[in-house]
Amino acid sequence: MLNLIFLQAQAGQQAAGSQWSFWIMMILIFVVFYFFMIRPQTKKQKELQEQRNAMKKGDKVVTAGGIYGEIKEVQENVFIITIAKEVTIKVAKESVYADIADAEQASSEKK
């Protein structure tokens, strides 16, 4: 009878220990996920947004659709881009990149 009580006590201690190790493992997974996935992506998005806000008239750009042009006018949420002589298009700021490397990188991330 006494052995049964000791066995139940040991089983209770092991179950409590495994719960702690489970929570510690979950926290470690979240921390690793944050530092290797979430944080770099938010930093990159912030830099890209700052770059778009710094664009001005006359800058050469590439749209997400692959259209090369030059900024003719900057509005609140859009750029007016000249793509040929007397041909302008209105493009959302989110789909404009300052150079080819940024455009290639963004298109590879979407895949």
Name residue 90's beta-bridge partners: 80
Backbone torsion region of residue 66, taken as left when φ is above 0, otherwise alpha when ψ lies between -120 and 50, otherwise beta: left
- One domain for residues 62 and 111: yes
Do residues 51 and 92 lie in contact, with contact meaning Cβ atoms separated by under 8 Å?
A: no
93 DSSP assignment: G
pTM: 0.58
Residue range 9-54, pLDDT digits in tens = 555 555 556 778 888 999 999 999 898 998 999 999 898 888 888 8
Structural domain range at position 85: 55-111
Do residues 68 and 60 lie in contact, with contact meaning Cβ atoms separated by under 8 Å?
A: yes
- One domain for residues 49 and 100: no
Looking at 33, 54, 75, the residue that finishes a domain is 54
- One domain for residues 18 and 7: yes
- Helix (H) / strand (E) element for 20: namely helix 2-33
- One domain for residues 3 and 50: yes
- One domain for residues 50 and 72: no
Count, in order, helices (H) and strands (E) of the chain: 3, 5
Of the segments 49-53, 59-63, 88-92, 95-99, which one has the largest average pLDDT value? 88-92
Closest CA to 59 of 97, 107, 101, 102: 97
